[in-house]
Structure 1
Amino acid sequence: MTSAPDAPSSRPPQLPSSAPGWGWPVFLLLAVAGLFYVKWFPYYHRAFTAEATHSIGKSILTGGAASAPVPSLAAALDYALAYGKAIWQAMVLGLLLGSGVQALLPGQWVARVLGRRGFGSVAAGGLLAVPGMMCTCCAAPVVAGLRARNASTGGAIAFWLGNSVLNPATLVFMGFVLGWQWSALRLALGLLMVFGLGWLANRMVTPDEARAADDRLALFARQQAEGGNALVRWARLFLRMAVRLVPEYIVLVLLLGAARAWLFPHIGPDVTSSLGWIVAFAVAGMLFVIPTAGEVPIIQAMLALGMGVGPAGALLMTLPPVSVPSFAMLARSFRPRVLVLVGTVVVLFGIVAGLATVALGF
């Protein structure tokens, strides 16, 4: 059976490389050194803390209290400051990498590795995400950079979700703090979410969208080839991304910090493992924003207060991968229907996880 003439090509266009010869090593050095300083080294030591104390800190949602504070300016500022302190280094690194993808890497590399519309780009995106270990918002600038270089919808989504859902450090923390059955459930459903959703997103790409993406990449490559210092271009892209993404990000984090009590109005034995509570917490978790591994102390605190395992299971799969701020940051990188699909599927996985924790007797 032959493909229709206007079907999207599985082979990205061949473009001249406009990146400097030193771009690759600089980008690789930045990625390795940055991730080592921000993620790998701190998480290595944090794992020993989790093993020894069966805790990685207090819940960022409620602190040491039994419920979230009432909506107020103070609640917004307190959450934003605590959240910002936890993620600011990773956010700066994400902006540097997201702009570096566009300024330092050869024009055809991202398109060749992540630009195909088959499952190969999805697999590559998911695997490249594993060492990143970034929260959904810190990964968003990198995803935006990949999309600007013609990464496929599915490959970019797999990278976006894989950073948080398949984070090996979080799985280790979770095992020591909550129990290894929670890590196993997260890994099993996480693999299905990351690679399945990426595959589904690629299937949604229309021929016109595929051609438009190829045209944008060709135009971008020509603009790069026309001149300009690579370091200046990198700095310009960094500032442009920071000015566009950071202000809206801060505003949304403040709003969510103030709205904690509305999203999670009650935590205690009355929050049972009924389907209604599971669905409610799945939706709330999808909307809310947390730092990397923040779901572990949140779930631990909620279970300690007597909440049912069903809603906790829902948060296991919905708190990390997406949030309102990360959706806003990537609104120009994906079609609205793709972002709606991502949010809907994440909620469905949360519901499945909640039901699974009950069925498996967690």
Structure 2
Amino acid sequence: MSAPNAQLPQSPRSPQPVQAPPGYGWAIFVLLAVAGLFYVKWFPYYHRAFTAESTHSIGKSILMGSAASAPAPSLNAALDYALAYGRAIWQAMVLGLLLGSGIQALLPVQWVARVLGQRGFGSVAAGGLLSVPGMMCTCCAAPVVAGLRARNASTGGAIAFWLGNSVLNPATLVFMGFVLGWQWSALRLVLGVLLVFGLGWLANRLVTPQEASAADDRLALLARQQAEGGNVFVRWARIFTRMAVRLVPEYIVLVLLLGAARAWLFPHIGPDVTSSIGWIVAFAVAGMLFVIPTAGEVPIIQAMLALGMGVGPAGALLMTLPPVSVPSLAMLAGSFSPRVLALVAGVVVLFGIVSGLAALALGLGAA
């Protein structure tokens, strides 16, 4: 497993003990997770599903609205997209930071390692299953993944949790069925399961003996450090602040840049964007790089199909828009090695190409 801070301290002095979570740490964390997800995700999405059923729409494309092309690169284009995206995700981002820091302040080190720290398929399965109720976009899930990695979650388990939040999102599958057609949901579910659990398994298989040894040493050190002392809420606030200061500024900058670059990543949309392999590959790469809120791919694909774009590029976006983006990859650069992040990005693009070809072969179209 590759993780930051895996090196043992070089100082001969004993490490200062950090606070062990009190007995009520579990209760606080579970209450936060359930209440936060209910308020930010479950309750709004429940009502949104009825809207999707009755109107066959969940809103306009955040990428370019009803226009045939994104606005030209400019400061206004950057600000407009960042504001629209920020309004859609800010609550989930705050919740992600609270959960990511809460994992480190409230939960025992041994629990994360026991459930998600093994290097077999079990941790991958656990990570994927735990991601399903989260339903977060890739960037909002990133702070939680960072918290899991800081507490020695395996590479594969953390990746399965990260990608599963968006790719296996049950609300998005429901929206997709009502808006695009249930065949799109079925394609997403089949390929999503293969992506989440297959990539997690592969990532764990690629852990080197040196990385595994360093992870074991880090777990032993964290267990020794977990002694009584300090105030759990002060520690939680400190970790939250540190994560926010480290992750949020770069995130905002990258969202602004991508908002300005929409016209370069997604040129004019229309019948000239065919289902050729060139367009499928191009849209698979663009979708992997771009950032969207949860379920944002549904109105984007709907709008593009309505403008006459081929189903091949639309199928590529189905699998590449949600799971990763430039901001989420940057946010987790301190939690995974460059080799692992390159693997994730490359496999997501590959699945996008497969999805585009499958959509074409199955004759999918707008609902």
* TM-score, scaled relative to structure 1: 0.94
- Taking every aligned residue pair, what percent have the same amino acid on both sides? 88
Corresponding position of 2:206: 204
1:81-92 pair list within 5 angstroms? 81-92=83-94
Helix, strand or coil: the match of 2:69?
Answer: coil
User: How many pairs were matched up?
Assistant: 347
Q: Measure, in 2, the Cα distance between the counterparts of 1:102 and 1:89.
A: 21
Determine whether 1:218 maps to 2:224.
no
Q: Determine if contact 2:272/2:309 at 8 Å carries over to the other structure.
A: yes
Q: Measure, in 1, the Cα distance between the counterparts of 2:32 and 2:213.
A: 32
How far did 1:87 drift?
Answer: 0.1
Counterpart of 2:81 (choices 64, 79, 82) is 79
How far did 1:111 drift?
Answer: 0.1
1:214-253 pair list within 5 angstroms? 214-225=216-227, 227-253=229-255
Helix, strand or coil: the match of 2:197?
Answer: helix
How far did 1:107 drift?
Answer: 1.7
Q: Determine if contact 1:148/1:217 at 8 Å carries over to the other structure.
A: no
Corresponding position of 2:113: 111
AA aligned to 2:244 is A
AA aligned to 1:26 is I
Corresponding position of 1:254: 256
How far did 1:226 drift?
Answer: 5.7
Q: Determine if contact 1:133/1:292 at 8 Å carries over to the other structure.
A: yes
Q: Determine if contact 1:17/1:106 at 8 Å carries over to the other structure.
A: no
How far did 1:322 drift?
Answer: 0.1
Q: Determine if contact 2:19/2:226 at 8 Å carries over to the other structure.
A: no
Q: Measure, in 2, the Cα distance between the counterparts of 1:76 and 1:103.
A: 36
Corresponding position of 1:99: 101
Helix, strand or coil: the match of 2:264?
Answer: helix
How far did 1:217 drift?
Answer: 2.9
Q: Measure, in 1, the Cα distance between the counterparts of 2:218 and 2:75.
A: 42
Q: Measure, in 2, the Cα distance between the counterparts of 1:161 and 1:197.
A: 9
Q: Measure, in 2, the Cα distance between the counterparts of 1:343 and 1:108.
A: 30
Helix, strand or coil: the match of 2:61?
Answer: coil
Q: Measure, in 1, the Cα distance between the counterparts of 2:218 and 2:123.
A: 19
* TM-score, scaled relative to structure 2: 0.93
Counterpart of 2:22 (choices 20, 23, 30) is 20
Helix, strand or coil: the match of 2:134?
Answer: coil
Q: Measure, in 2, the Cα distance between the counterparts of 1:185 and 1:20.
A: 45
How far did 1:17 drift?
Answer: 9.6
1:1-362 pair list within 5 angstroms? 18-225=20-227, 227-362=229-364
Question: Which digits, 9 at most, give the CA deviation of each residue in 1:100-120, with x for residues without a partner?
Answer: 000001120000000000000
Q: Measure, in 2, the Cα distance between the counterparts of 1:292 and 1:33.
A: 19
Helix, strand or coil: the match of 2:340?
Answer: helix
Q: Measure, in 1, the Cα distance between the counterparts of 2:105 and 2:222.
A: 11
Q: Measure, in 1, the Cα distance between the counterparts of 2:267 and 2:359.
A: 22
| Higher RCO (Cα < 8 Å, 6 or more apart) | 2
AA aligned to 1:31 is A
Helix, strand or coil: the match of 1:74?
Answer: helix
Q: Determine if contact 2:19/2:231 at 8 Å carries over to the other structure.
A: no
